[in-house]
Amino acid sequence: MQRIILVTGPAGAGKSSLGARIARNTGWYHLSEDAVWDEFPRDPHTARTDAEKAVVQARTVEYVRRELDRGRSVVLEFILYEDPPQPVHFYRSACLALGVPVDVRVLRAPVDELLDRQTIRGNSHDREREEADRRRNAEHQLRCAMSAEVADEWVVDTAGTPLESVY
């Protein structure tokens, strides 16, 4: 049976690693919302507008639908930067409308661990920002992941946990 897993949380929580790990299973496809954002020429350090977000989210759901039409299950990962967590609500509702079961997982880790992971992974957008900026961002994203609208059963604490154990 096909299904969709939504994986979200702060930068450095392990979303991409978990999505890639799940997609190693036959019949699964890993989709990163960041890849859809990358289709649009924009400065990565600017706030995302509601209009941009609507376009990216609609396109992302179309990519999910395409993979379902190909017979695959989908793990969709995206960063959580809002409280209330609009992207979680949007993707959950839109994906449920596609007629397959949807699971949500919100990854959390302490701020210092998030920053360490960002340093280790070495993405250019991580290297371009001052550590104080990255810390403020990580603290904000972690607060969003702790929203009252995030169901307890969705939460996965990835602190000090190897990928295979999170998987």
pLDDT at 130: 81
- What DSSP state is assigned to residue 83? S
Say what the pLDDT of residue 147 is.
96
Give the residue ranges of DSSP H helices in the chain.
15-22, 33-37, 50-69, 86-96, 111-121, 124-127, 131-145, 163-166
Each residue's pLDDT, cut to its tens digit, for the chain (167 residues) gives 999 999 999 989 999 999 999 999 999 999 999 999 989 887 767 788 999 999 999 999 999 999 999 999 999 999 999 999 999 999 999 999 999 999 999 999 999 999 988 888 767 666 667 888 889 999 999 999 999 999 999 999 999 898 899 98
